Amino acid sequence: MKRLVKLGFAFALFSFALFWGMTIPQTIDDSVRTWIAKPGDIALGEQIFWAGGCASCHAKKDAKGEDKLKLGGDHALVTPVGIFNVPNISPDPQYGIGKWSVEDFANAMLHGTSPKGKHYYPAFPYTSYASMSYQDVKHLWTYLQTLEPIQTQNKPHELSFPFNISRGIGLWKLVYADTQQKVRVGEKDNFLQRGQYLVETLGHCGECHTPRQAFGYGGMDHTKWLAGAAAPEGPGKIPNITPHETGIGSWSQEDIVYYLESGFTPEYDSVGGTMVDVQQNMAKLPKSDLEAIAAYLKAIPAVPSN
């Protein structure tokens, strides 16, 4: 019996050590650290800011105009596993990210790792941002430093067991986090590649428009890329935006560009719900980027609505 107890204890200790080792939060390597330390471009950073939809979550709900640049955090994302309270990412040194280094920011964006070495929950779409170029991480960081510091204290997440054990996110990352392109389109076409980058990475469109694996808690199901999914918060459904007849197959590229510019569909309906913020953000991008997005959405596989 004593031997069995010892073996059981040894196995438990080994399992814990294995779990701990496999879930160590990842950070950028030395070569990246040196590269991103160079100054970024504020104007390019602003474009990335709007493409990435940062204001949609980190500014106050229904913020307009200049208030969209006050990133004190406001939203409470109510999900089946609990409430994720969106943090302050203004340059305030006490409540925001004013004391962060560009390395801290890169670790958060590319690896979902906090300055304290903990895993961020994937309610923060770092699984999409992980494919960002180092240049764009640097440009976005440079732009964020120019914004107004907001003195709003962060609220902790309100999660039930076992979701409140953030270390377990390390296992989730091992299974679901990757930087691979979600579909293969225009591999030698720079215009389509730009559209793919804007949709898959900066715009993180798949986070809402693609269904999840593992009962809705896993990574995105790439076989149903952008085919529509259950709304991440509450009832409802996010629409199919593939060129299938159940999606936006009847829309032309010009229709898509006009929708992103104006918020009006080809049927003269107006954008609604959480897409209002997304459309308003995208409207601030150069028209060439909107055209690239449209070209990509018409080039991806047509998938029936999920």
Say whether pLDDT at 133 is over 80.
yes
pLDDT in tens, 69-104: 999 997 888 887 888 999 999 999 999 999 999 999
Which region, left, alpha or beta, applies to residue 21 given φ > 0 means left and ψ of -120 to 50 means alpha? Answer: alpha
- The token duo for 200 is 């898959």
CA–CA dist 172, 127 (Å, integer)? 11
Q: For the chain, which residues make up each domain, given as ranges?
A: 26-176, 190-299
Under the banding of pLDDT at 50, 70 and 90, the label for residue 21 is low
What is the pLDDT at residue 48?
97
The residue that leads in pLDDT, 138 or 39, is: 138
Please report which residue ranges of 59-218 form alpha helices under DSSP H.
Answer: 102-111, 126-129, 134-144, 169-176, 190-196, 206-209
Q: What SS3 class is residue 88?
A: coil
Instruction: Output the CA torsion sign for 287, 288, 294, 297.
Output: negative
Q: What is the pLDDT of residues 246-274, one digit of tens each?
A: 999 999 999 999 999 999 999 888 888 88
CATH of domain 190-299: 1.10.760
Tokens matching residue 290: 């909107």
Which residue in the block uniquely carries the two structure tokens 């801290």?
A: 104
C-alpha 12/C-alpha 28 separation (Å) is 31
